[in-house]
Amino acid sequence: MSDSKSTMKLVEYLDREGNLSRKGIDKLTGYVGEARQLVDRMKCEEMISFATSAVRDAANGEAVLDHVERETGIRLEILSGEDEARLTFLAVRRWYGWSAGRIINLDIGGGSLELTSGEDEDPEAAYSLLLGAGRLTHEWFDTDPPDRKKIALLRDYIDAELVAPAKHLRALGEADLAVATSKTFRTLARLTGAAPSSAGPRVRRTLTAPGLRQLIAFISRMTAADRAELEGVSANRSHQIVAGALVAEASMRSLGLEQVEICPWALREGIILRRLDGDLDGKG
């Protein structure tokens, strides 16, 4: 078994016209090439390759996919925002099981926010909004620490974007279990007192609305370098954790959630589970 990760932060390479820059394309191509080499070395029978918000929403997305394929031989599959949300929900459902009842799930990525609610493995409603932590940091913050007026304006913007999705999700019924996935939520939970990753995936971790509000007041006045010194905050994510915290707080507030459980499974596991389901059904 092997685990290898590389932080892309591709939304930071989008220009004003929405195109992924040459530097961003080269970074993505290099990573896909490295992944291909790892797959070959480990003699894997199959490589599942996909891209999400940054490439999906880039104006030159198709050209990016063509370039990566020419250079690496790998054609990345673009997941729609809804598919991304639904696959993440599948992973959450499998982790908690049927006894969890109605689940509502929140997932903050670099480029988008996914919201889902349902009682089955496939959610009744799935939303993908352009409210990712990296995207909002790139588009809204130009000082370090962020300007207080910009933070207030961003709060208002996030609230406005959440009105319609939150209204629909709440109309489906109260959740028996409120869940959050993604590195952003895990980091926020850690900063508010949750167990570290070294404690293992089965340790219960939660994030509360009061704790999150206190955390925002604290980290929004710090520089990215100072935030990177906090336990649980990686240097490559410290600059975007404020925007991520604002999205998390607004999402929980709009949905009336005072607490969310942190699920260790998310999109990656959802994709694997769906692929395994296909094999079991004779579709693989």
Mean pLDDT in residue range 263-267: 96
Query: Which of 43, 59, 78 lies at the terminal end of a domain, its last residue?
Result: 78
Together in a domain, 128 and 208: yes
Per the domain annotation, does 180 fall within a domain? yes
Share of the chain above pLDDT 70, in %: 97
Q: Name the token pair of 134.
A: 């990296």
**pLDDT tens readout for residues 86-103:** 999 999 999 999 999 999
- Report the CATH number at residue 92: 3.30.420.150
Same domain flag for 127 and 198: yes
Neighbours of 204 (CB within 10 A): 8
Is 150 inside a domain boundary? yes
Residue 51 lies in a domain: yes
In terms of domains, do 85 and 165 share one?
yes
* Same domain? 29 vs 85: no
What is the Cα–Cα distance from 132 to 111, expressed in whole angstroms? 4
> 238 and 213, same structural domain?
yes
pLDDT of residue 1: 62
pTM, two decimal places: 0.92
Percent of the chain with pLDDT over 90: 83
Q: Are residues 18 and 50 in the same domain?
A: yes
- Tens digits of per-residue pLDDT, 169-218? 999 999 999 999 999 999 999 999 999 999 999 999 999 999 999 999 99
Please tell me whether residues 161 and 214 are part of one structural domain.
yes
Q: What is residue 170's predicted lDDT score, i.e. its pLDDT?
A: 98
**How much is the pLDDT for 9?**
83
pLDDT in tens, 53-98: 889 999 999 999 999 999 999 999 999 999 999 999 999 999 999 9
Nearest to 106 by CA among 158, 62, 30, 38: 158
Which of 50, 78, 106 terminates a domain? The answer is 78
pLDDT mean over 248-271 = 97
Q: How many domains does the chain have?
A: 2
Residue 283 counted as domain residue? no
Same domain, 250 and 216: yes
Q: Are residues 171 and 187 in the same domain?
A: yes
Is the predicted pLDDT of residue 280 greater than 70, yes or no?
A: no
* Residue type (1 letter), 258: E
**Domain membership of residue 54 as a residue range:** 10-78
Retrieve residue 203's tokens.
């340790």
Please say which residue of 44, 78, 112 terminates a domain.
78
The answer to whether the beta carbons of residues 147 and 66 sit under 8 Å apart is: no
